[in-house]
Amino acid sequence: MADQRKSIIKTISVTLQDLAKMIDVSLLHPTMTDEAILEGLHQARKYGMATACVKPYSIPVAVRELEGTTVLVCPVIGFPHGNSTTKVKVFEAIEAVDAGGREIDMVINVGKALGGDWDYVEDEIRQINEAVTKRDAILKVIFENDYLSDKHIIKLCEICSRIKPAFIKTSTGYGFVKQADGSYNYTGATMAQLQLMREHVDPAVQIKAAGGIRSLDDLLRVRAIGVTRVGATAGPTMILGAIQRGIGETPKEVQVEITGKLGGGY
């Protein structure tokens, strides 16, 4: 879906910690070795990010490496395609929390959403949210917008407004769509879809953008429209960019051009 909204300039006030605590460092690529995951955890710790987003088997090492910091452990479940049964997703969520996960990112059943089986979709989100929140953790619900139209996104926002998970999230970063030439690609978060989600979900539900947030400018753009968390592999690059622009411990006003296109990629 192409972004059609007019670009505007907005002034926002930020600190370095504000920006760091927007970032879930993504350590999810299937080719990541234990060594690479460990390096990512050290980066999350060094820069004081919000969370390290990890595959479930990495929870114990993440808990160990982040102990004594404010960086939380964020496992994914039903990831990346959301095709497990509800029972399996609930079990996986409980196991992840019991192992030390404080924030859980789950993927909806996209096929059920596209097929209009909204009762199934809503019941699944509700069951997982209840399982997670009963254990003092929070849930982020991944829509996987690359597969959805605006009407699907709006319906999911309405469902999540009733259930009130902590966050709704645009993408996994792995929602590849087959192109006309036979290749696969994805868009990830777009400004238009983020604004659509903010407009249609209850204000109590926060928004996480993933896929396409590659630079400090991207981070500032989404913050300016009300996004409070991003998932990205480029977190350290964003923080170093902020330092270079003089963003530090005291609030600094920055002008943000809200454009229709984000950087692309995860």
Euclidean distance between CA atoms 89 and 119, whole angstroms: 17
> Would the CA dihedral through 111, 184, 40, 35 be positive or negative?
positive
DSSP string for residues in 53-121: EE-GGGHHHHHHHHTTSSPEEEEEESTTT--S-HHHHHHHHHHHHHTT-SEEEEE--HHHHHTT-HHHH
Residue tagged active-site, from 105, 140, 146, 155: 105
Whether 178 is a known active-site residue: answer no
The one catalytic residue in 89, 140, 155, 169 is 169
Which amino acid, residue 59? I
d(CA 217, CA 129) in angstroms, rounded, equals: 32
Select from 266, 252, 184 the least CA-distant residue to 218: 266
Q: Tell me what percent of the chain is helix, strand and coil, each rounded to the nearest 5.
A: 40, 20, 40
Catalytic choice (89, 140, 155, 208): 208
Distance CA 143, CA 165 (A): 13
Spatial CA neighbour of 168 closest among 134, 130, 129: 129
Active-site annotation holds for 6: no
Find all residues with CB under 8 Å of 217, minimum gap 6, and list them.
256, 257, 263
The verdict on whether 208 is a catalytic residue reads yes
The residues carrying an active-site annotation are: 105, 169, 208
